[in-house]
């Protein structure tokens, strides 16, 4: 079910067509035609196992597709790029970037080094060789400092310790890649309320002031209602409901069929 109003696409967006992914013979994503990124912030919601993470990984091609096609449009009139035939690092360099629901292992690099490495990757394939180069430091140092002030890390020159620090580090790392379309997989899960609000403000700012199209997966629907301009509701591998937050909340029976009563909030 879809809200009727058509929105012209002039932002970075991805179109997912006839895309299927199965694991062990079981179809977990089956999407006929879905565009993500028509709005500054879009929510992607649905019950556990609905296929949200898998769909995002199909977009960044970190898993193979059984069939289907994913294309990226910058929204600037440049020709579309077929992502589903590209390698993940090439997709990131085009500006389509995803954070991780499950925290990456940051135990090998300090917080500063992780961020300098991400910044180097934004403009050099040989990032590992050059990430201590002075130009990376001079170009990105202030920006990294700002992020580290916004989110107080215990020791920015040491390793990220808590799950929360690793989650924030992953988000900042993605932002330093200069994303055009940013996929956030449960970015605020497990964060204290004050920090969660700062993450939401930062996401909103990137989307509205810097034209980054942001797609957010979250189980906390209050985050979704506050943040999203549009919502895609997934269940059993398919998108079953789409619309702005009030429209989705009006269709409480569909949402509650999958999420249980009390999730829509009134
Ligand atoms: N690598 C994998 N191998 C086998 N099955 C997988 C794999 N990844 C995901 N699945 C299965 O695919 C289905 C969809 O998983 P996915 O992680 O995309 O759901 P999700 O909507 O992100 O759920 P959650 O809200 O719990 O994060 C689930 O049944 C899951 O067990
Ligand atoms: Mg998931």
Tokens of 222: 């209050």
The span from the CA of 41 to the CA of 12, in Å, is 11
- Give the residue, out of 54, 184, 234, with the most ligand 1 atoms within 8 A of its beta carbon, to mutate for a pocket test: 54
In a domain, 234, yes or no: yes
- Tell me the average pLDDT of the chain: 89
28 ligand 1 Cβ < 6 A: yes
CA dihedral 241, 244, 249, 254 (to 10 degrees): 0
Domain count within the chain: 1
Least confident interval from 38-47, 121-130, 133-142, 185-194: 121-130
In a domain, 106, yes or no: no
* pLDDT exceeds cutoff 70 at 210: yes
Average confidence (pLDDT) over 46-57: 96
Nearest to 98 by CA among 210, 3, 173: 173
* pLDDT at position 132: 59
* pLDDT exceeds cutoff 60 at 215: yes
Domain that residue 255 falls in? 13-89+180-186+211-259
Average confidence (pLDDT) over 79-98: 92
* pLDDT at position 256: 82
In a domain, 221, yes or no: yes
In a domain, 73, yes or no: yes
206 pLDDT band (50/70/90 cuts)?
very high
4 pLDDT band (50/70/90 cuts)?
low
9 ligand 1 Cβ < 6 A: no
* pLDDT at position 265: 64
In a domain, 236, yes or no: yes
* Residues with Cβ within 8 Å of residue 224, at least 6 apart in sequence: 43, 45, 216, 218, 231, 245
CATH of the domain at 65: 3.40.50.300
* pLDDT exceeds cutoff 90 at 163: no
In a domain, 44, yes or no: yes
The span from the CA of 164 to the CA of 153, in Å, is 10
Q: Ligand 1 centroid to 200 CA: how many Å?
A: 25
3 pLDDT band (50/70/90 cuts)?
low
- Give the residue, out of 22, 53, 184, with the most ligand 1 atoms within 8 A of its beta carbon, to mutate for a pocket test: 53
In a domain, 169, yes or no: no
Average confidence (pLDDT) over 168-179: 93
pLDDT in tens, 99-149: 876 666 667 889 998 888 888 876 655 555 555 567 777 888 899 999 999
In a domain, 66, yes or no: yes
Average confidence (pLDDT) over 172-197: 93
54 ligand 1 Cβ < 6 A: yes
* pLDDT at position 107: 75
Distance from the Cα of residue 65 to its chain's centroid: 19
């Amino acid at each position: 079910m879809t809200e009727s109003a058509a929105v012209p696409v002039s932002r970075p967006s991805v179109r997912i067509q006839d895309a299927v992914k199965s694991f062990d013979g079981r179809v977990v994503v089956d999407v006929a035609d879905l565009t993500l990124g028509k709005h500054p912030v879009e929510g992607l919601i649905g019950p556990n196992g609905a296929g949200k993470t898998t769909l995002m990984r199909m977009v960044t091609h970190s898993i193979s597709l059984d069939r289907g096609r994913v294309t990226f449009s910058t929204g600037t009139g440049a020709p579309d790029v077929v992502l589903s035939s590209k390698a993940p690092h090439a997709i990131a360099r085009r500006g389509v970037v995803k954070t991780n629901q499950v925290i990456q292992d940051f135990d090998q690099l300090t917080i500063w080094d992780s961020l300098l490495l991400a910044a180097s990757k934004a403009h050099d394939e040989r990032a590992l060789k050059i990430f201590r180069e002075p130009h990376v430091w001079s170009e990105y140092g202030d920006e990294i400092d700002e992020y580290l002030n916004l989110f107080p890390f215990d020791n920015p020159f040491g390793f990220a310790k808590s799950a929360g620090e690793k989650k924030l580090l992953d988000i900042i790392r993605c932002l330093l890649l200069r994303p055009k379309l940013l996929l956030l997989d449960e970015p605020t899960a497990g964060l204290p309320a004050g920090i969660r609000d700062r993450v939401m403000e930062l996401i909103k700012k990137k989307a509205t002031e810097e034209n980054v199209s942001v797609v957010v997966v979250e189980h906390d629907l209050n985050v979704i209602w506050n943040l999203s301009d549009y919502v895609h509701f997934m269940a059993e591998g398919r998108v079953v409901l789409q619309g702005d937050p009030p429209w989705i909340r009006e269709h409480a029976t569909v949402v509650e069929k999958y999420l249980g009563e009390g999730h829509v909030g009134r």
